[in-house]
Amino acid sequence: MSSETDITDSDHDYGIGPDQLADETPPAYPPSQPIHEGGHGHKEPSDAQYIWIAIILAVLTALEILSTEAGPDGPWLVPTLIVLMLVKFWVVASFFMHLRFDNRLFSFLFYLGLGFAVVLYSAVLATFHFWTG
């Protein structure tokens, strides 16, 4: 092969040299040291707390199942199921999405978006319920 057909890295200008890559590489942290220093002061649940959360969610789910299986459908069935659903949603969003431990602004924005979605969904359902031909 001639030197004209040999392609090497020096033939291409990528704009980054090996010395520049070394300068931008973040330092490696040992696993015991947090990546962000100084901390934000929020505490996450322990494994035991996650087990208690799972037990609470299982009990709420059992209550939902029992309320639908036991007895006739009364006027309190749907409101009871909605309340249980909202409690379960709050527990999952608070602990598993870490909203309880984050900045309150994130929680506010999350619940604001959720509120807008509920209003929109309700408006669409009302449209189909009241204005069907």
User: Which pLDDT does position 72 carry in this prediction?
Assistant: 76
User: Which pLDDT does position 98 carry in this prediction?
Assistant: 85
Closest CA to 97 of 120, 114, 80: 114
- Which one is predicted more confidently, 30 or 43? 43
Q: Give the C-alpha distances (Å, rounded to integers) separating 45 from 29, 40, 87, 100, 106.
A: 23, 15, 18, 10, 18
Q: How far apart are CA 25 and CA 91, in angstroms?
A: 39
User: Which pLDDT does position 117 carry in this prediction?
Assistant: 92
Whether the predicted pLDDT of 64 surpasses 90: yes
User: Which pLDDT does position 7 carry in this prediction?
Assistant: 58
- pLDDT per residue over 68-125, tens digit each? 888 778 888 888 888 999 899 989 988 888 888 888 899 899 999 999 998 999 899 8
For residues 17-29, average pLDDT:
57
User: Which pLDDT does position 13 carry in this prediction?
Assistant: 56
- Which one is predicted more confidently, 133 or 107? 107
This prediction's pTM: 0.56
User: Which pLDDT does position 27 carry in this prediction?
Assistant: 56
- Which one is predicted more confidently, 86 or 132? 86
